[in-house]
């Protein structure tokens, strides 16, 4: 008989569960068991109803012994925070009804729930009224380092994570002040990021990655081969020094 610990979703509790960067095999056992036992499973979806998080967790959902109620949260693909906040307000009220009825709710997040995760905004809205727990997931930062087979930091090297939504000056500062830099949410900002890599002399240090851990994963180590145009949302840059401490 297996002595594997069992983690079961508790009634009236709101869980943020990380499903990792894209590879279904990187879903943790703890998140898998939550998906197996939850009354409700929720996730962000696009306007067409497709959810990246649900797609990653599809095997865990398929292995349930009983059906589960699924709550898709439609999210406009826009930088307008008014629209996003309205979507989170509506989702929080919908999930609140399930929690008040004593149901356990598991919200799936790509990567880690509290690292650029949409769960954070629902946590703000529900944590005062309900028991909330978080199960960490593997972030795209760690998955990218694994895909590159390169350490993010060695010895005294400094490391920073920024976003393509930061200003040019913030990107420049990060690239000039730190040895290792990860730039998340690179999609629309890709031309700006490439310009900053040129301007700071970090062009040769750059690696570009898309859809890490998925069937359409793409890695470009020579940025001369990367088009100077916007890319997909699930993309990032990993900038590492050419000369590193032994």
pLDDT of 79 > 80? The answer is: no
pLDDT of 246 > 90? The answer is: no
pLDDT of 2 > 80? The answer is: no
- SS3 state of residue 80: coil
53's tokens: 């998080």
pLDDT of 1 > 60? The answer is: no
Domains, the chain, in order of start with CATH, read 13-135 (3.40.1010.10), 140-239 (3.30.950.10)
Question: For 130-153, what is each residue's pLDDT tens digit?
Answer: 999 999 999 999 999 999 999 999
Taking all residues of the chain, what is their mean pLDDT, rounded to a whole number? 95
- Candidates 116, 142, 137; CA nearest to 15 is 137
Tell me what pLDDT residue 73 has: 93
Q: What is the mean pLDDT of residues 58-84?
A: 89
- Candidates 111, 97, 92, 102; CA nearest to 233 is 111
- Candidates 228, 216, 223; CA nearest to 240 is 223
CA separation for the pair 184, 161 (Å, rounded): 7
Q: What is the mean pLDDT of residues 111-136?
A: 96
CA separation for the pair 196, 27 (Å, rounded): 35
Give the sheet arrangement for strand 235-239, strand by strand: 159-163, 180-184, 235-239, 206-210, 218-220
Band (pLDDT 50/70/90 cuts) for residue 240 is very high
Q: Give the number of other Cβ atoms within 10 Å of residue 28's Cβ.
A: 17
33's tokens: 């068991």
pLDDT of 176 > 70? The answer is: yes
Contact (Cβ atoms closer than 8 angstroms) between residue 109 and residue 203? no
Question: For 155-174, what is each residue's pLDDT tens digit?
Answer: 999 999 999 999 999 999 99
Tell me what pLDDT residue 78 has: 67
> Any idea which residue has 């109620």 for tokens?
69
């Amino acid at each position: 008989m297996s002595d594997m610990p069992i983690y079961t979703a508790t009634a009236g509790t709101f869980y943020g569960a990380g499903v990792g960067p894209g590879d279904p095999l990187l879903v943790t056992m703890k998140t898998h068991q939550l998906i197996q036992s939850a009354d409700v499973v929720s996730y962000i979806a696009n306007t067409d109803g497709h959810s990246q998080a649900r797609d990653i967790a599809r095997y865990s959902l398929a292995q349930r012994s009983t059906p589960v109620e699924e709550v898709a949260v439609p999210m406009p693909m826009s930088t307008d925070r008014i629209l996003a906040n309205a979507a989170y307000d509506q989702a929080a009220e919908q999930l609140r009804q399930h929690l008040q009825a004593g149901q356990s709710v598991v919200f799936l997040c790509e990567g880690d729930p509290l690292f650029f995760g949409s769960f954070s905004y629902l946590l703000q809205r529900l944590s005062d009224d309900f028991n909330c727990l978080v199960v960490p997931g593997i972030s795209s930062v760690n998955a990218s380092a694994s895909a590159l087979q390169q350490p993010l930091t060695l010895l005294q090297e400094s490391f920073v994570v920024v976003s393509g939504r930061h200003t040019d000056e913030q990107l420049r500062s990060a690239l000039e002040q730190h040895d290792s830099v990860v730039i998340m949410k690179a999609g629309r900002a890709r031309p700006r990021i490439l310009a900053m890599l040129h301007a700071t002399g970090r062009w040769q240090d750059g690696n570009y990655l898309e859809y890490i851990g998925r069937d359409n994963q793409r890695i470009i180590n020579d940025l001369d081969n990367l088009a100077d145009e916007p890319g997909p949302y699930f993309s990032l840059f990993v900038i590492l020094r050419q000369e590193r401490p032994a």
